[in-house]
Amino acid sequence: MKTETITDADRYPTLTEDGRRMLEFMREHPHAPTFRNQSGNRLNVDDLSRVREFEREAQSAEVGWRPSELPSWLAKFVEQSFAEVPFYRRYGSPPAEFQDLPTICRADLSRDIAQFVPDSTPIDRLINFRTSGTTGHSLLLASHPAVAASYLAFHKRALRRFGIELRHGRGQVGVVLVGFQRKCFTYISVTPAMDESGLAKINLHPADWRDPDDRAKYLDALAAEVYTGDPIAFAELLKLPLATKPRAMLSTSMTLLPAMQQQLQERFGCPVLDLYSMNEAGPVAVADVTAGGHVLLQHRLYVQTLDASGQQVPIGERGEVTLTGGFNFCLPLLRYRTGDYASLRFNGTEPVLVGLEGRPPIRFRNTRGEWLNNIEVTHALQRFAIPQFTLHQDRDGGLLLRLSGAGHEPNHIRNALLELFGSGQRLILEQVDSFDGKVVQYTSDLAGSQP
Amino acid sequence: MQQEGPILESLTRRLAETPEEFLAEPRIGQTGRVHVAAVVADLLRLLNAPPASAPGQFIGNDVRRDRNRLAIALLLCWLLSDDWFRQTKLDAAKVLELLDAQCNELATQVAARKFVTDPDRREELARLALARLGFRPAGETLAQAQDRLTTLNSTERARVMKAARAAEERARQIREALARKAAEESADKFTRE
Q: Which residues of A143-165 are buried (b: 16+ CB within 10 A; e: fewer)?
A: bbbbbbbbbbbbbbbbbebeebe
Average pLDDT over residues B107-123: 95
Element (H, E) at A48: helix A45-60
| Residue B188, in any domain of the structure | no
Q: Give the confidence band of A448 by pLDDT, cuts at 50, 70, 90.
A: confident
pLDDT, tens digit, 9 for 90 and up, residues A84-107? 999 999 999 999 999 999 999 988
CA atoms of B65 and B81, how far apart (whole Å): 26
| Residue B191, in any domain of the structure | no
Shortest CA gap A144–chain B (Å): 8
Q: Strands A389-393 and A442-444: what pairing?
A: parallel
| Residue B41, in any domain of the structure | yes
DSSP-derived letter for residue A402 is E
CA of B65: how far to CAs of A88, A97, A145, B59, B70, in Å?
11, 18, 34, 12, 10
Q: Are B34 and B68 in contact (CB under 8 A)?
A: no
| Lowest mean per-residue pLDDT among A247-256, B4-13, B22-31, B170-179 | A247-256
CA atoms of A417 and A378, how far apart (whole Å): 10
Show residues of chain A in contact with B191, CB under 8 Å: 151, 155, 177, 228, 250, 252, 275, 277, 283
Q: Strands A248-251 and A272-278: what pairing?
A: parallel
CA atoms of A260 and A270, how far apart (whole Å): 13
* Partner-chain residue, chosen from B173, B186, B190, that has the shortest CB–CB distance to A175: B190
**Contact partners, residue B108, CB within 8 Å, separation at least 6:** none
Q: Are B40 and B74 in contact (CB under 8 A)?
A: no
Residue of B nearest to A142 (CA): B178
Q: Strands A173-179 and A371-373: what pairing?
A: unpaired
Q: What is the CA radius of gyration of chain B?
A: 21
| Residue B124, in any domain of the structure | yes
Shortest CA gap A396–chain B (Å): 31
Shortest CA gap A394–chain B (Å): 27
Cα distance from N-terminal residue to C-terminal residue, chain B: 62
Q: Are A208 and A186 in contact (CB under 8 A)?
A: yes
Show residues of chain B in contact with A37, CB under 8 Å: 185
Backbone phi and psi for residue A337, each to the nearest 5 degrees, phi listed first: -80, 120
Contact B178 A126 (CB under 8 A): yes
CA atoms of B68 and B25, how far apart (whole Å): 9
Contact A131 B184 (CB under 8 A): no
Contact A123 B170 (CB under 8 A): yes
Contact B190 A129 (CB under 8 A): no
| Residue B31, in any domain of the structure | yes
| ipTM for this model | 0.85
Q: Give the confidence band of A133 by pLDDT, cuts at 50, 70, 90.
A: low
Mean pLDDT of chain A: 90
B1 has pLDDT over 90: no
What are A322's strand-pairing partners?
A: A304, A337
A438 has pLDDT over 50: no
CA atoms of B69 and B62, how far apart (whole Å): 11
Contact B191 A228 (CB under 8 A): yes
Find which of A5, A44, A85, A93 to mutate to test the B interface (most B CBs within 10 Å of its CB).
Answer: A93
Q: Strands A104-105 and A173-179: what pairing?
A: unpaired
| Residue B126, in any domain of the structure | yes
A361 has pLDDT over 70: no
Tally A–B CB contacts below 8 A: 153
DSSP-derived letter for residue A2 is P
| Residue B133, in any domain of the structure | yes
Backbone phi and psi for residue A174, each to the nearest 5 degrees, phi listed first: -85, -50
Q: Are A426 and A399 in contact (CB under 8 A)?
A: yes
Show residues of chain A in contact with B32, CB under 8 Å: 95, 100
* Partner-chain residue, chosen from B71, B184, B187, that has the shortest CB–CB distance to A41: B187
Q: Are A124 and A100 in contact (CB under 8 A)?
A: no
Going along chain A from its start, the domains and CATH numbers come out as 1-43+165-270 (no CATH), 61-147+295-359 (3.40.50.12780), 363-444 (3.30.300)
Does B35 touch chain A if contact means CB atoms closer than 8 Å?
Answer: no
Tell if the pTM clears 0.90, that is, is over it.
no
Nearest partner of A128 among A152, A111, A148, judged by Cα: A148
Total structural domains within chain B: 1
Burial (0-12, 13-18, 19+ Cβ within 10 Å), A395:
exposed
Nearest partner of B90 among B55, B36, B48, judged by Cα: B48
CA atoms of A295 and A286, how far apart (whole Å): 5
pLDDT, tens digit, 9 for 90 and up, residues B56-65? 889 988 999 9
Q: Is A83 helix (H, G, I), strand (E, B) or coil?
A: helix
Q: Are B15 and B7 in contact (CB under 8 A)?
A: no
Does B24 touch chain A if contact means CB atoms closer than 8 Å?
Answer: yes
Q: Give the confidence band of A130 by pLDDT, cuts at 50, 70, 90.
A: confident
Q: Where are the alpha helices (H) located in A125-279, listed in sequence order?
A: 145-161, 214-222, 231-239, 258-268
pLDDT of res. A1: 46
* Partner-chain residue, chosen from B29, B167, B187, that has the shortest CB–CB distance to A86: B167
Q: Strands A399-403 and A427-431: what pairing?
A: parallel
Shortest CA gap B89–chain A (Å): 33
CA atoms of A78 and A73, how far apart (whole Å): 9
* Partner-chain residue, chosen from B173, B174, B185, that has the shortest CB–CB distance to A38: B185
Show residues of chain B in contact with A39, CB under 8 Å: 185-188
| Residue B187, in any domain of the structure | no
Show residues of chain B in contact with A177, CB under 8 Å: 190-192
Q: For B1-43, what is the HEC assignment?
A: CCEECCCHHHHHHHHHCCCHHHCCCECECCECCECHHHHHHHH
Q: Give the confidence band of A359 by pLDDT, cuts at 50, 70, 90.
A: low
* Partner-chain residue, chosen from B68, B111, B191, that has the shortest CB–CB distance to A252: B191
CA of A294: how far to CAs of A355, A387, A423, in Å?
8, 30, 43
CA A425, distance to chain mean position in Å, is 30
* Partner-chain residue, chosen from B30, B174, B187, that has the shortest CB–CB distance to A117: B174
Contact A95 B107 (CB under 8 A): no
Show residues of chain B in contact with A152, CB under 8 Å: 190
What are A140's strand-pairing partners?
A: A130
pLDDT, tens digit, 9 for 90 and up, residues A169-206? 999 999 999 998 878 889 999 999 999 999 999 999 99
A420 has pLDDT over 50: yes
Show residues of chain B in contact with A189, CB under 8 Å: 188
pLDDT of res. B52: 67
CA atoms of A408 and A367, how far apart (whole Å): 25
CA atoms of A282 and A328, how far apart (whole Å): 8
Shortest CA gap A31–chain B (Å): 22
Residue span of the structural domain in which B22 resides:
3-182
Find which of B25, B175, B186 to mutate to test the A interface (most A CBs within 10 Å of its CB).
Answer: B186
Does B36 touch chain A if contact means CB atoms closer than 8 Å?
Answer: no
